[in-house]
Amino acid sequence: MINRLRALSTFIKLKVNISPSMTHLCVGCLTPTQNDGLCGACGADLPRNDAACARCALPLTSSIADPLGVLCGPCISQPPAFDRVVAPWLYSFPVNSLISQFKYGKQRAFGKPLAGLLAREIAASGDGRPECLIPVPMHPSRERARGFNQAEEIALWLADELDVPVISHLVQRRKLSDTQSGLTRRQRLVNLKGAFGVSGPIPEHVAVVDDVVTTGATAEELAKKLKKAGARTVEIWALARTPRIPLDDL
């Protein structure tokens, strides 16, 4: 495990570009693999978010967590608009480094293995499938600058694995808000007011797809919009969830 993590750390720090000849190598240890870029051993080493709130997937202490599902304090006192968050991993090393290289380094090979593992987690759960996947939209100017929407990439990979259609046009990013990075939950909620628009008939059961759930502000704003437009069940599917944040940031 230690050697694999060291290899992954070096690999990411060097910001190695994945060439076509390397697509059958594990991005964690560079050994040959047929598991979409992440071998079984490295996949098993990823930090799991098993001890989590059953509603928002906020990581909880193991003494609080209940395998049958327990809610965190904020979800009890003020239930969110979304119905549940599926985020199997903690946003810590090496997951955070993989996502960062995928998102900002434009290295899709770092994101696809995590999306494949997420799809298998969802398939194994046996839960009812949503009628469609809706990627969190980016403002057109930001998407042009980055070159792609990471949430849409993840949604398309999930769609291939789970046979659920992606419908991107249902939600639009209409306002160019300040970047969410570094903002508290309250600040994020204010920042997102009026940011999203919903058009067209919304299926009753949808899953919103994103790379990371941080404070849940984006999930909350989108779920409110989608339910107002006709959705009855809104799930949030993400690769990872950030650890608990200070109470002042809730």
Query: From CA 177, how far away is CA 194, in angstroms rounded?
Result: 9
pLDDT tens digits along 62-81: 655 555 578 999 999 999 99
Write down all domains in the chain, each with its CATH number in brackets.
Answer: 1-45 (no CATH), 48-249 (3.40.50)
pLDDT 10s digits, 188-239 = 666 667 789 998 889 999 999 999 999 899 999 999 999 999 999 999 999 9
The residue-averaged pLDDT of 5-30 equals 59
Residue 68 burial by CB count (10 A; 0-12/13-18/19+): exposed, middle or buried?
exposed
pLDDT (tens digit, 9 = 90+) per residue, 92-112? 999 999 999 999 888 888 888
What are the φ and ψ backbone dihedral angles of 32, each rounded to 5 degrees?
A: -60, 140
The span from the first CA to the last CA of the chain, in angstroms, equals 35
Both structure tokens of 223? 């779920």
Say which residue, 9 or 227, is predicted with more confidence: 227
What's the pTM value of the predicted model, to 2 decimals? 0.85
Residue 42 identity (one-letter amino acid): C
pLDDT value for 84: 96
Give kind and range of the element (H or E) at residue 152. Answer: helix 150-162
Amino acid at 151: A
